[in-house]
C-alpha cells in the first residue's frame, strides 16, 4: 500500500482521470510595477485610438458618400500613424483590434472584455459580438507551482490534504486554475486556485482603470465608461477572494434546500482559504452534450422545468443569482438533476429592484405590454436629455411584436428583453449591470431549454413559475413579515408618544394662553387641541390614513374657539 506522499509523487506520471485538450504553458513573470503597467496600458490605448481612426477611414473610403473635412483630417492622421502601429493589428476592423489588445494586456483586461461583451445596452453590437470571442482557455501554470500555491494558502503540505491531484488541469481562466483531486478520506473534489500575481495585478489595474474611466467619461459620456469600469472593478476584485465563492455556494444551497434535484457543489472549508477553494466534484455533462440529448423526453422535460424554476426563483424570489451563467456552468447530473458550478460571480437585486423586475417579467409573459414597458423604464436611470416616454413607447411596441410572433428562431423572449434593454442607449436610459447579467441568465435559460426540447415554449413555462413567485409576494404571511420589519420604529414611536403629547400640550398652552378676563376660554381650547393632538399621534403611530385629517380638524376647531371666545 502506497502512502499519500508516494501517491502524490506518482501524480505527475499517472494519466489524468478526465482527458482534456492540451493547454498552453504559461511563462511565469513577476507582475510589473504600476508605472510600467501604466505605460503599457497607455501604449495599447493609443494604438487602439489610432487603429480606430484607420478603420473608420478605411470604412468611409469604401462608402459612396461625399467626403468632407472630417474625412480629410482622419486620412492624414491615418497616414502618419499607420507605420507606427503593430502590423498584425493595424489593418483589422476596430472590434477585432479591441479584442486583440485586451488579450495582449492580460487577465484583467480579458475579464473586462468579457463583462463588456454583455453591455449591448451601451456598446455597438459589432463590438460586443467580437468580445465574445475572447480567450477562455488561458495558459496554465506548472503543476509544481500550482501545488505550491495550495500549500502556501492552506499552510499545510498537500500530501496531508489530498491523496491524489490530477497534474492536468480541468480548466484555466483569466483568474484561476482548477484541478481534480481526491482527499485522504476518498472524496472526489476540485481544487481551484488563484494564479500567482493575479490578485496584485487586478488591484493595480483597477486603480489605473478608474483613472482611465474618469478621463474617458469626459470624451465619450454616451458609453458611460466611468460606470462600466467601476462595476467591473467591484465585481472582479470580489472574485479573487475565493471565500466569497464558498459563501455563494452555501447561500445557493440554503435557498434551494427544498429542491433536492438542484445541486450546488459542497464546500470543503478545511481545505479552503482566501486563494484556494476545495469543493465537491460534480460528475455530469453539459446540457448540449450528446449524453444529455440522448435522455428520454420525460427526463428532458423534467430538466427543462427544473432549470426554469431554478433561474426564475434565483432572479425574482431570492434576488441572488448566478451572474456568469452559460452552458459550461450548467451540468446534467445522474438522475435527471441539474447542477450549477463556478459560483464566483453572482448578481444581487435589492428589494425594490427585484420587485420591479418581477412585475416587469410577469407583465411581459402575461401579455401586458404597457405595464412591462413602464416597469422596465422605472429600473433605468435617465441620463442627460433622456427620453423615458419615448423609451416606454418603443419597448411597448417591441413587446407587442414579440407576442404576435414569439418563437425561438424568429424572436425569442431573451431577444425581446435584450433588444428592449439595448434600446435604452438610444433614449439615454442606462441600466444597472445586474439587469444585464439577468439578461444573460435568461438567454442561457431559453437557449438550453430549446436545445433539450425543440418545441420549448418559454412564455408558457415562465407564466407557471412566475405566478408562483408573484403569489408568494402577496401571501398574508409575507405581509406580516414585511410589516414586522417596521416594528422597532413603531414601538419606538409608541414609547415616545406620552412625552411627545405632553410637550405638545405645553407648547399649545403657551401659544393659546387666554387674556386674564376670560381664563376658561384658554382651558377649553387647550383641552380640545390636546385631544386632537393625542388622537392624531396615536393614529399616525399605527399607520392610519386619518391622522392628517384629525390634526387639521383639531386646528380648525382651535382657531374657531380662539376667535369666538
Three-state SS annotation for 234-251:
HHHHHHCCHHHHHHHHHH
Q: What does the chain come to in residues? A: 565
Alpha helices in 155-241, H assignment, sequence order:
198-219, 225-239
Helices (H), 91-142: 94-105, 107-116, 125-131
Q: What is the pLDDT of residues 186-236, one digit of tens each?
A: 999 999 999 988 888 888 888 888 888 888 788 777 667 787 788 778 877
How far is it between the farthest Cα atoms of the chain?
112
**What is the Cα 314 distance to its own chain's centre?**
12
DSSP class of 287: T
DSSP helix/strand/coil, 211? helix
d(CA 220, CA 428): 13
* Predicted local distance difference test score (pLDDT) of residue 13: 30
State yes or no: pLDDT of 501 exceeds 70: no
Mean pLDDT of 530-545: 51
Average pLDDT on 437-443 reads: 84
Three-state secondary structure call for residue 178: strand
Least confident among 95-104, 383-392, 519-528: 519-528
pLDDT at 158 > cutoff 60: yes
- Read off φ and ψ for residue 367, nearest 5 degrees: 90, 10
Burial of 251 (0-12, 13-18, 19+ CB in 10 A): middle
Is the pLDDT assigned to residue 114 strictly greater than 70?
yes
Residue 565 has pLDDT above 50, yes or no: no
Under a CB-based contact definition with an 8 Å cutoff, are residues 331 and 286 in contact? yes
Cα 210–233–95 angle (5° rounding)?
80
DSSP 8-class letter at 28: P
Q: Are strands 337-340 and 262-263 parallel, antiparallel or unpaired?
A: parallel
Label the pairing between strands 429-430 and 381-382: antiparallel
What pLDDT shows up at residue 335? 92
pLDDT (tens digit, 9 = 90+) per residue, 342-367?
998 898 998 889 999 999 999 988 88
Q: What's the confidence (pLDDT) of residue 3?
A: 40
451's grid cell:
436545445
| Helix-then-strand count for the chain, H and E | 23, 12
Place of cell 487586478: 202
Domain locations in the chain as residue ranges: 4-25+139-196, 34-136+201-237, 285-476, 486-564
Q: In the chain, what is the straight-line distance between the N-terminal and C-terminal CA atoms, in Å?
A: 107
The CA distance from 554 to 503, in Å, is 17
Q: Where are the beta strands (DSSP E) in 453-519?
A: none
CA 128/CA 134 separation, integer angstroms: 10
> What residues contact 348, with CB distance under 8 A and at least 6 apart?
319, 320, 434
Provide the H-helix boundaries in 313-424: 351-366, 369-379, 388-404, 413-422
Q: What is the Cα–Cα distance from 533 to 3, expressed in whole angstroms?
A: 83
pLDDT at 8: 36
Q: Which three cell numbers stand for residue 3?
A: 502512502
Is residue 261 predicted with pLDDT exceeding 90? yes
Q: Which of 49-53, 117-121, 137-141, 388-392 has the lowest mean pLDDT?
A: 117-121
Q: Quick check: pTM over 0.85?
A: no
Sign of the CA dihedral running 353, 356, 362, 363: negative
Q: What is the pLDDT of residue 243?
A: 95
pLDDT digits (tens, 9 = 90+) for 5-16: 343 334 333 334
d(C-alpha 268, C-alpha 280), whole Å: 7
Averaged pLDDT, 518-539: 53
Find, among 198, 164, 202, 201, the residue nearest to 183 by Cα: 164
Characterize 263-285 residue by residue with b for buried, 16 or more Cβ atoms within 10 angstroms of its Cβ, and e for exposed. bbbbbbeebbbebbbbbbbbebe
Is 23 within 8 Å of 169 (Cβ atoms)?
Answer: yes
Q: What are phi and psi of 497, to 5 degrees?
A: -60, -50
Q: What residues pair up with 285 in beta bridges, in sequence order? A: 332
Q: Based on C-alpha coordinates, what's the Rg of the chain?
A: 31
pLDDT (0 to 100) of residue 513: 58
CA atoms of 390 and 395, how far apart (whole Å): 9
Q: Which long-range contacts (CB under 8 A, 24 or more apart) does 542-550 make?
A: 542/490, 543/490
Is the pLDDT reported for residue 483 higher than 50?
Answer: yes
**Average pLDDT along the chain:** 80
Report pLDDT for 409.
57
In the prediction, which pLDDT does 406 show? 58
pLDDT in tens, 291-342: 999 999 999 999 999 999 999 999 999 999 998 888 888 999 999 999 999 9
Q: Give the separation between CA 317 and CA 304, rounded to whole angstroms.
A: 19
Mean of pLDDT values over 419-427: 85
pLDDT of residue 489: 63
Q: How far apart are CA 193 and CA 345, in angstroms?
A: 15
Amino acid at each position: 500500500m502506497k502512502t499519500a506522499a508516494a501517491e502524490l509523487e506518482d501524480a505527475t506520471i499517472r494519466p489524468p482521470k478526465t482527458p482534456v485538450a492540451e493547454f498552453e504553458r504559461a511563462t511565469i513573470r513577476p507582475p510589473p510595477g504600476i508605472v510600467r503597467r501604466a505605460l503599457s496600458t497607455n501604449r495599447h490605448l493609443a494604438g487602439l485610438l489610432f487603429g480606430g481612426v484607420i478603420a473608420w477611414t478605411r470604412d468611409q473610403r469604401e462608402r459612396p458618400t461625399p467626403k468632407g473635412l472630417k474625412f480629410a483630417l482622419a486620412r492624414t492622421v491615418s497616414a502618419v500613424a499607420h507605420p507606427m502601429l503593430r502590423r498584425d493589428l493595424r489593418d483589422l476592423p476596430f472590434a477585432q483590434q479591441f479584442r486583440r489588445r485586451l488579450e495582449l494586456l492580460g487577465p484583467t483586461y480579458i475579464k473586462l472584455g468579457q463583462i463588456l461583451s454583455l453591455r449591448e445596452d451601451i456598446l455597438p453590437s459589432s463590438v460586443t459580438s467580437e468580445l465574445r470571442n475572447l480567450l477562455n482557455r488561458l495558459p496554465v501554470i506548472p503543476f509544481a507551482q500550482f501545488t505550491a500555491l495550495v500549500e502556501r494558502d492552506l499552510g499545510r503540505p498537500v500530501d496531508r490534504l489530498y491523496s491524489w491531484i490530477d497534474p492536468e488541469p480541468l480548466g484555466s481562466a483569466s483568474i484561476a486554475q482548477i484541478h481534480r483531486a481526491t482527499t485522504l478520506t476518498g472524496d472526489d473534489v476540485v481544487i481551484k486556485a488563484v494564479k500567482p500575481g493575479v490578485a496584485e495585478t487586478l488591484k493595480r489595474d483597477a486603480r489605473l482603470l478608474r483613472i482611465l474611466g474618469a478621463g474617458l467619461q469626459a470624451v465619450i459620456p454616451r458609453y458611460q465608461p466611468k460606470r462600466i469600469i467601476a462595476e467591473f472593478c467591484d465585481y472582479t476584485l470580489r472574485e479573487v477572494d475565493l471565500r466569497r465563492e464558498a459563501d455563494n455556494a452555501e447561500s445557493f444551497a440554503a435557498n434551494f434546500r427544498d429542491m433536492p434535484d438542484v445541486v450546488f457543489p459542497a464546500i470543503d472549508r478545511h481545505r479552503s482559504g482566501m486563494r484556494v477553494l476545495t469543493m465537491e466534484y460534480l460528475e455530469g455533462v453539459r446540457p448540449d452534450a450528446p449524453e444529455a440529448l440522448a435522455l428520454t423526453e420525460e427526463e428532458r422535460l423534467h430538466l427543462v422545468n427544473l432549470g426554469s424554476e431554478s433561474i426564475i426563483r434565483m432572479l425574482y424570489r431570492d434576488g441572488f443569482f448566478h451572474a456568469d451563467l452559460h452552458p459550461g456552468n450548467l451540468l446534467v447530473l445522474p438522475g435527471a438533476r441539474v447542477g450549477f458550478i463556478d459560483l464566483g460571480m453572482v448578481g444581487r437585486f435589492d428589494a425594490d429592484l427585484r420587485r420591479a423586475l418581477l412585475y416587469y417579467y410577469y407583465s411581459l409573459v402575461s401579455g401586458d405590454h404597457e405595464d412591462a414597458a413602464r416597469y422596465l423604464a422605472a429600473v433605468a436611470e435617465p441620463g442627460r436629455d433622456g427620453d423615458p416616454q419615448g423609451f416606454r413607447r418603443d419597448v411597448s411596441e417591441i413587446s407587442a411584436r414579440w407576442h404576435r410572433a414569439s418563437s425561438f428562431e424568429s424572436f425569442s423572449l431573451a431577444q425581446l428583453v435584450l433588444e428592449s434593454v439595448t434600446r435604452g442607449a438610444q433614449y439615454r436610459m442606462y441600466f444597472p449591470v445586474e439587469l444585464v447579467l439577468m439578461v444573460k441568465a435568461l438567454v442561457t435559460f431559453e437557449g438550453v431549454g430549446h436545445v433539450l426540447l425543440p418545441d420549448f415554449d418559454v412564455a408558457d413555462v415562465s407564466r407557471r413559475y412566475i405566478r408562483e413567485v408573484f403569489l408568494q409576494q402577496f401571501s398574508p404571511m409575507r405581509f406580516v413579515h414585511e410589516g414586522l420589519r417596521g416594528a422597532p420604529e413603531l414601538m419606538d414611536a409608541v414609547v415616545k408618544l406620552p412625552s411627545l403629547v405632553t410637550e405638545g400640550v405645553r407648547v399649545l398652552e403657551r401659544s393659546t394662553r387666554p387674556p386674564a378676563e376670560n381664563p376658561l376660554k384658554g382651558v377649553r381650547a387647550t383641552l380640545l387641541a390636546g385631544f386632537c393632538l393625542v388622537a392624531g399621534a396615536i393614529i399616525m403611530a399605527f399607520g392610519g390614513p386619518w391622522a392628517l385629517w384629525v390634526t387639521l380638524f383639531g386646528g380648525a376647531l382651535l382657531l374657531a374657539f380662539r376667535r369666538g371666545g
